Amino acid sequence: MRKLIPSSIAIALLCFTVGCRSNNTNQVEITLSGWQANPNEGKLLDQTIREFEAKNPTIKVKREVINSQYMDVIRTRLIGEVAPDVFYLEAFEAPTLMKFGVLEPLNSYIKPDFKLNDFEPNLLNAFKRDGKVYGIPKDFSTLALFYNSTALKNAGITQPPRTWDELRTAAKKLTSDKNGKIDRYGMGVVPELPRQTFMIKAFGGQLVDPNNYAAFASPEGLKGLELVIDQYRRDRTAAQASDVGANSNSEAFGQGRVAMTLDGAWAIPYLKETFPKLKFQTAEVPKINDRQGTMLYTVAYVMNRQSKQKDAAWKLIQYLTDEAGMKRWANQGVALPSRRSVLAGLNYDRNPIYSPFVSGAKYGTIWQAGETLPTIVTSFDNQFVSALLGQQPLPEAMKRAQDTANREIYLSR
C-alpha cells in the first residue's frame, strides 16, 4: 500500500501533464507515408512540408518513409487502425482499397479553384470509383526506349528504332560476341506483367475480361508477347538482368551489358548519378503493329477514411498537388507531374530526354486492372518466365497462367 500511493500520484501527474499538452494548443499532427526513390526527392519533399507547416501553424506533419514491401505495411496498418492520415497509393493497388472502403472520398473537399480538370484524365480515372475521387495523382511515368548512344554509333545505327522490326534488327547489330561469350546484348527485357501489358494490347488483346477474370491468353494477346519471346529465344539478342549479372534492368543498361531497354523516367536520375560516363538517350517505344503503345504508371495521395484529422489531411494533399505545390517539387525528374499545366510549364515536351515520356501519357496503357490484378500478376510472371526460358511454348504457358489465375479468383470469391 505504501508503494501504491507514490506510484498512483506519479501516474496521476503523468495523466495531468499529458492532458495539459493536448489541451494547451490546438496543434494537430498528421502522418504522411510514402516511399522514397532517392535522398534528393526526400529532401525536396521535406522542404515543401516545412513550408506547409509555416503556412499552417496548427498542423504538424510527420513524414514516414516505408521503402520495402510498402503495400503490405500499409494494408496491415489499415487493418490495425494505425494507418497514416495521408499516404501514397499506386494505381495498381487502388481498386482493392477503393472497394473495401478504407479511403476517404475527396469530392466534398475539392473546390473549383483546385482545378481538377487540369489533371491528365487517364491518371485521375485510375483513382475514381462510382463517380467518387479517392486520390489525387501526384505524378506519373511511362516507359520509353533508352539507348546507349555510343553503342548505337559504333554499330552504325544513325537513329533509334521506330518500329519493333527495326528494334529487332538493331538489337542483332548491337549484340556483340567476343570469344564465344556474349558481353553485350542488344536489348534488356523485364519479363513481368507490369512491363508487358502493352505488348498484350498491341494486337488487340486484353488483360482482363469485364468480370475481372484474366483473359490475356487470347491469340491477339499472344501475338505481342511472342515478339518478346522470339527476340529472347530465337534471335538471342535480349537478356534479363540476372542473365548478365545485374540487379536490375537499369543497372544492366548502365553497365553497358545491354544496349537498349524500356524503362521509366525514374531511371534517368539514377543513371546520371551512378554511371556519369554513360551516354544515353531516350525515344518513344517503337511502334508495334503500326500502333503506339507504352505503359503508364501513376501514384496518388490518398486519405485514410479513419483519419481523425481529415481537414488537416486535405490541406496537406491540396498543398502538395495544387498548381503551385506541384511545381515546387516536380522538377527533380524522377517522375512527371500529373497536372497538364505544370507539365507544360516545365517544358518537358521540349527536353529530348523527357519528351518521349510525355508523349507516352496520351496513348499509354495504365497499369491497373481491377482488384484481381495481384493474383493475375503472380500467375503471369511465373509462367511467362518459364516460356522465356523455353521450358514450355508460349501459348501453353499463357493458357496455364490464365487458368491458374482464374481458378484462384473463382475460389476466392
**Tally of CB atoms within 10 A around 276:** 7
Q: What three-state secondary structure class fits 303?
A: strand
Q: How far is the CB of 72 from another protein (least distance, A)?
A: 5
In the complex with another protein, the residue whose CB is nearer, 33 or 321, is 33
DSSP state of 113: G
Q: How far is the CB of 63 from another protein (least distance, A)?
A: 24
Q: What is the Cα–Cα distance from 354 to 358, expressed in whole angstroms?
A: 7
Residue whose CB is less far from another protein, 235 or 243? 243
Q: Please, what is the minimum distance in Å from the beta carbon of residue 325 to another protein?
A: 30
CB 240 within 8 A of CB 251: no
Instruction: Tell the smallest beta-carbon distance from residue 394 to another protein (Å).
Output: 14
> Residue 160 and residue 167: Cα distance in Å, rounded?
8
Tell the smallest beta-carbon distance from residue 79 to another protein (Å): 5
- Helices and strands, number each (H, E), in the chain: 17, 14
Q: To the nearest whole angstrom, how small is the minimum distance from the Cβ of residue 244 to another protein?
A: 7
Other CB atoms within 10 A of residue 342 CB: 24
CB of 100 to another protein, least distance (A): 4
By C-beta, is 12 or 389 nearer to another protein? 389
In whole angstroms, the minimum distance from the beta carbon of 256 to another protein comes to: 13
> Using CB under 8 A as the criterion, which residues of the chain lie in contact with another protein when the complex forms?
69, 71-72, 75-76, 78-79, 96-97, 100-102, 240, 242-245, 374-375, 378, 381-383, 385-386, 389, 391, 404, 407-408, 411-412
The torsion angles phi and psi of 336, rounded to 5 degrees, stand at -100, 145
Residues in the chain: 413
Compare residues 84 and 293 and give the one whose CB is closer to another protein. 84
Running DSSP on this structure, what letter comes out for residue 285? Answer: P
Three cell numbers, residue 63: 513524414
Q: Alpha-carbon distance 194 to 408, whole Å?
A: 20
How far apart are the C-alpha atoms of 250 and 95, rounded to whole Å? 29
Cell of 318: 491540396
Nearest in space to 142 (alpha carbons), one of 343, 363, 376, 329: 363
Q: CB-wise, 78 or 225, nearer to another protein?
A: 78
* Cell numbers linked to 214: 484474366
Question: Beta strands of 249-327 (E only): which ranges?
Answer: 258-264, 280-283, 295-303
Nearer to another protein, 246 or 346 (CB): 246
C-alpha dihedral over 38, 286, 385, 74, to 10 degrees?
30
Burial of residue 353 (number of CB atoms within 10 Å: 0-12, 13-18, 19+):
middle
Whose Cβ is closer to another protein: residue 25's or residue 412's? 412
Q: Is 22 exposed, middle or buried (0-12, 13-18, 19+ CB in 10 A)?
A: exposed
Closest CB to another protein among 239 and 326?
239
Q: Which C-beta is closer to another protein: that of 166 or that of 381?
A: 381
Virtual torsion, Cα 349, 354, 357, 361, nearest 10 deg: -30
Residue 404 C-beta: closest distance to another protein, Å: 6
Kindly state the smallest distance separating residue 222's Cβ from another protein, in Å: 19
Tell me the backbone φ, ψ of residue 243, rounded to 5 degrees. Answer: -70, -30
Q: Would you say 18 or 79 has its CB closer to another protein? A: 79
